[in-house]
């Protein structure tokens, strides 16, 4: 079952990554695209917990960092998605995921990931924009991810739940 779970998670990340770098730029809103890879990590975190989501977040973030047209230092998205995997996974242990919990977790995760990515860009000197522009980008990213949540997370969470091994009583 571990192999099936890993293969399904890898397939979900690859499909999300391909859609994010090929289709999403055509849907950009003021240059901001939805982060489908982040939604896969959040779905994994809410159904499988922080450990699985952190590993998946690192792998997905590394792929996102290296996928063309990457124009930033590799590792920035990997760091952001590891943090998201941990934070969203902690929500799973605190409460069962209701619709409100899922949407709130996606909004918080999107805010954290985009902010962390932007802050690391500022620290590395890769961004030459003002704080106001960064806040606009973070806000738009949160809106994009929350709007796509009802369409993307339910099937992903169902897939991760189906691949979860039965627990011993």
Domain ranges of the chain: 2-162
The pLDDT value given to residue 19: 93
List, for residues 114-139, the tens digit of each pLDDT value: 999 988 888 888 776 777 787 888 89
Mean pLDDT, all residues of the chain: 88
Return the higher-pLDDT residue of 99 and 13: 13
Radius of gyration of the chain (CA): 15
Distance of CA 122 to the CA centre of its chain: 21
One of 1.25.40, 1.10.1760, 1.20.58, 1.10.3470 is the CATH number of 2-162, namely 1.10.1760
The pLDDT value given to residue 58: 97
Q: Say how many C-beta atoms besides its own lie within 10 A of residue 75's C-beta.
A: 15
The pLDDT value given to residue 169: 40
* Verdict on whether the full-model pTM lies above 0.85: yes
Which among 121, 117, 113 has a CA at the least distance from the CA of 53? 113
User: What are φ and ψ of residue 113, in 5° steps?
Assistant: -65, -50
Half-sphere exposure of 9 (CA within 13 A, CB side): 27
Quick check: helix, strand or coil at residue 8? helix
List, for residues 10-37, the tens digit of each pLDDT value: 999 999 999 999 987 787 777 788 899 9
């Amino acid at each position: 079952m571990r192999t099936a779970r890993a293969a399904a998670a890898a397939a979900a990340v690859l499909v999300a990554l391909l859609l994010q770098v090929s289709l999403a730029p055509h849907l950009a809103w003021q240059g901001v695209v939805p982060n489908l890879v982040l939604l896969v990590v959040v779905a994994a975190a809410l159904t499988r917990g922080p450990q699985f989501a952190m590993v998946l977040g690192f792998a997905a973030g590394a792929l996102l960092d290296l996928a063309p047209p990457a124009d930033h230092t590799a590792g920035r998205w990997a760091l952001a998605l590891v943090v998201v995997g941990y934070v969203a996974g902690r929500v799973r242990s605190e409460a069962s995921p209701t619709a409100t919990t899922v949407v709130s977790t996606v909004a918080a995760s999107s805010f954290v990931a985009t902010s962390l990515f932007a802050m690391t860009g500022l620290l590395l000197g890769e961004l030459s924009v003002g704080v106001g522009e960064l806040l606009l980008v973070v806000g738009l990213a949160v809106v994009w991810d929350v709007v796509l949540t009802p369409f993307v997370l339910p099937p992903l969470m169902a897939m991760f739940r189906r691949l979860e091994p039965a627990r011993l009583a």
